Amino acid sequence: MDSILACYQAFDWPISRRELIILDDGGLHRTQQGPGWRLVTAAQRFSTLGEKRNFATTLVARDCWAIVVMDDDDIYLPWTLRAHFFALAQAGWSRPSQVYHAKGDSLHVANTGGLYHASWAFRRDVLTRVGGYPQINNGEDQVLAASLMAAGVSVMDPISGFPPFFILEFETGYPHLSLMDNETGWSQMQSLRDNLHGHLNSEPRTVTPQWRKDYIKMARQAIAQRQPPLE
C-alpha cells in the first residue's frame, strides 16, 4: 500500500481531476484518506478477485469517466495518467504494448503481448457495457479482455505517445499472483496471507507513502538508453 500511494502522489496529472480508491479486504489497514485518495477497509473478504475489482469501481466518483487499474505490488511512473488519457481520448481501452521489468536498480523494457492487466485502463461506460469483471479468482483479466474484444471495443496503445509507465517489480518480498499457476495460485496467496497474519500485530496500520528505490531516476536512465525489448 505504501508504494502505490507514493506512485499516486508522484503523478503529474492535476489532483482535482483524479482520485485513488484502495480497497483492502484483508483487514491489514484502517480506513483512511488524504488529498485525492481513500483507503476503504471492507468488513469481510470478497469471495473472488473479480468481485473485488467490480466493487472497487462502484466506489469511484460518479462523474469519473475512466477507470485506471493499479495493483499495489506494481510501480506506476508520474506520466501514467497522461499516457492513459492520450489513449482513452481515442479509444475505449488503453492497453500498453511495453512495460518495464525492474532488476536491481535498473529497468528493462518488455513487450506485453496483450497481457499485464495492471497496466490497463478503460472508459467507464465500456467496462459497464461488458458487465465488468467475471467473478473468478485468477484469469479474470483475460476473460474481461475477451469480452471487450467480442464487444468490438476500440483499443489504443499509450506507448505510441509515451515511454513505458508501468514497472513490474519482482523484489517485493511477496509472490505475484499473475506469475503463479492458474489452478493453485490463489490458494498459495491465501496460505501466505494466513501465515502473514500470524506474525502481524492485530492493530490495523496507517499507510505511509514511500518507495524502496528511486524509480524515477531508474526510468530516466532506461529512457536515455533506449534498450531493445526483452524477449
CA 178/CA 226 separation, integer angstroms: 27
Q: Is residue 101 part of a domain?
A: yes
Strands 155-156 and 166-169: unpaired
- Which residue segment(s) compose the domain that 138 sits in? 2-185+204-225
The Cα 20–Cα 157 span in angstroms is 23
Q: Confidence band (pLDDT; 50, 70, 90) for 157?
A: very high
Q: Is residue 71 part of a domain?
A: yes
Per residue in 96-130, pLDDT (tens digit) is 999 999 999 999 999 999 999 999 999 999 999 99
Tell me the whole-structure pTM to 2 decimals. Answer: 0.86
CATH of residue 139's domain is 3.90.550.10
Specify if 190 maps to a domain.
no
**In the structure grid, which three cell numbers stand for residue 133, read together?**
469483471
Task: Write the pLDDT tens digit of every residue in 9-34.
Answer: 999 999 999 999 999 988 778 889 99
Cα–Cα distance, 56 to 50 (Å, whole number): 10
Q: Could you tell me if residue 156 is inside a domain?
A: yes
Report CA-CA distances (Å) from 172 to 40, 74, 89, 187: 23, 9, 33, 19
Q: What is the pLDDT of residues 130-153, one digit of tens each?
A: 999 999 988 999 999 999 999 999
Q: What total number of domains does the chain contain? A: 1
